[in-house]
Amino acid sequence: MAILTCAKCGAKNRVDERVTVIGRQPVCGRCGARLQADGEAASTGGATATGAGGKPVAVTDETFEREVVSASGSRPVLLDCWAAWCGPCRMIAPALDSLAAEAGGRYLVAKLNVDENPQTAARLGIQSIPTLFIYKNGQAVERIVGAQSKQVLAARLSAHL
């Protein structure tokens, strides 16, 4: 039995792992939103702890320097600053998942939940979300505020490859 957190309302749901294996999609018992199994990472807005399998990397106050600043020395990092309650943040999450899956090691996609990581959010001067940054060589080289299409994000990111 797995516990999945709903990305929409935050409710914790017990889900039998066999449900997803046989092709059925679990939904939240509170709000009815689609739940995503581990590896799909809906509970973190599309971010996983390891970034394995072409998914965005979850960044925290403790891991920001390592996952974003240090990692941007060898390749650009697209950092999404988001919150679970933010509609536009949820709208761009699939685009970020897709960009992460297409990265092929050329760049890294990372996500910072501003509600759970207020120190880093304050240090970055986040005043509205979604706010995205492109880091290169340890520095933020571009700031993108508001929901953008996958094509716009890909173009802005490719300018820094």
| Same-domain pairing of 54 and 25 | no
Answer yes or no: do 93 and 135 share one domain: yes
Identify which of 9, 2, 32, 3 has the alpha carbon closest to the alpha carbon of residue 90. Answer: 9
Secondary structure of 75-110 as H, E, C letters: CCEEEEEECCCCHHHHHHHHHHHHHHHHCCCCCEEE
Q: Which residues are catalytic?
A: 86, 89
Residue 48 confidence class, pLDDT cut points 50, 70, 90: very low
Cβ 150 vs Cβ 95: under 8 Å? yes
- Residue 66's identity, in one-letter code, is R
Dist. CA 29–CA 71, nearest whole Å: 39
d(CA 23, CA 25): 7
Nearest to 99 by CA among 90, 91, 89, 109: 109
Instruction: Assess whether 14 and 51 both reside in one domain.
Output: no
Q: CA-CA distance, 80 to 77, in Å (whole number)?
A: 10
Encode pLDDT of 73-121 as tens digits: 878 999 999 999 999 999 999 999 999 999 888 999 999 999 999 999 9
Whether residue 5 has pLDDT greater than 90: no
Mean per-residue pLDDT of the chain: 84
User: 124 and 65, same structural domain?
Assistant: yes
Domain CATH code at residue 20: 2.30.30
Whether residue 8 is found in the same domain as residue 55: no
- Same domain as 31, residue 52: no
Q: What is the pTM of this model?
A: 0.68
Q: Are residues 58 and 80 in the same domain?
A: yes
Residue 28 belongs to domain spanning: 1-38
Residue 127 shares a structural domain with residue 50? yes
Domain of 81: which CATH number? Answer: 3.40.30.10
